[in-house]
A and B are shown apart, each in its own frame.
Chain A
Amino acid sequence: MKINLNNKSESFDKEQLTITELLALKNYTFKMLVVKINGELVRRHEFDKAIVRDGDDVMVLHLVTGG
């Protein structure tokens, strides 16, 4: 499948991935992540269930302390 991840086109061998699987493939190991699929917020407890499919737009934001 081909998705749009943070405004960049990315291809994966799988037909679909959960957010947890996608984050592992992309080596996003941080704790504080905001994730949206097609503009909809995915809460942290839904990362194992939320499915990313071909053509989806995924936004991942890693929050860091400081301000």
Chain B
Amino acid sequence: MSFARAAEISAYLKKYTVGIAGCGGLGSNCAVALARAGVGKLVIADYDIVTNHNLNRQYYFHDQIGRLKVHALRENIQRINPDVSVKAFDLKLCTSDIVDLYSKCDVIVEAFDKAEMKYMIIETVLSRIPGKPLVVGVGMAGWGSTNLLHSRYSENLIICGDETSEVSDSLPVLAPRVGIVAHMQANEVLNILLKEFKPVDE
């Protein structure tokens, strides 16, 4: 009966909105996982275009090179689950954009690349949208060391990753490890959204 339970969860998740800030390795993979689970609405934002270098880890296809990531990701999500409503914003998020776009979301996923941007969204959400759950990805460069990846909880701030591996010329971000962290973030989002979920037959 697992099909029925999965369908029930998907129906339950339809009323929720998740904001995803950034559509790179973390954001594109996290968004797809949430769309598959059945989250009703995703608010995605990024200013970048798909390049050949992104395809080693980000949820895009070769024939999407040159397109805006937000448009390509919306298309990919809708090919997977047309029931998901995707609001796509082509912009480089600043503090006021984050408040405007994500205040009404049930959960916010931080999926930026740069540490400065991660700082900016954490400070913004904690001070301007207090109480809003924010799931961040910190430390996922390289390969191996799966056991070092963890989730840490600090009130409404949830941290996924190893908190140490920084990207560099010798330590790139690769599909498996960033994919794990993106899915850990999606998993934490579901954990929040399904807190009050009660199956009908129990």
A41 to B157: give the CA distance in the assembly, Å. 11
B154 pairs with A59, CB closer than 8 A:
yes
A24 to B109: give the CA distance in the assembly, Å. 31
Max chain B C-beta neighbours (<10 A), residue from A7, A39, A67: A67
Residue of A at shortest CB range from B154?
A59
A66 to B22: give the CA distance in the assembly, Å. 12
Which residues of B (148-200) have their CB < 8 Å from a CB of A?
152, 154-155, 157, 159, 163-167, 173, 178
Contact of B173 among A6, A43, A61, A66 (CB under 8 A): A66
A7 to B155: give the CA distance in the assembly, Å. 12
Q: How far is the CB of A14 from chain B (nearest CB, A)?
A: 24
A62 pairs with B22, CB closer than 8 A:
no
- Cβ of A9 under 8 Å from chain B: no
B173 pairs with A41, CB closer than 8 A:
no
- Count of A residues near B, CB < 8 Å? 16
Q: How far is the CB of B109 from chain A (nearest CB, A)?
A: 11
**What class of interface size applies to chain B in its complex with A?**
20 to 34
Known contacts A36-B154, A41-B126; is A64 also within 8 Å of B115 by CB?
yes
B167 pairs with A66, CB closer than 8 A:
yes
Q: How far is the CB of A38 from chain B (nearest CB, A)?
A: 10
Known contacts A34-B123, A41-B123, A41-B127; is A64 also within 8 Å of B164 by CB?
yes
Which residues of A (22-39) have their CB < 8 Å from a CB of B?
32, 34, 36, 39
B167 pairs with A65, CB closer than 8 A:
yes
Q: Which residues of A contact B115 (CB under 8 A)?
A: 32, 63-65
Residues of A within 8 A of B (CB): 6-7, 32, 34, 36, 39, 41, 43, 59, 61-67
The 3 A-B residue pairs whose C-beta atoms are closest, nearest first, are: A66-B167, A64-B166, A63-B115
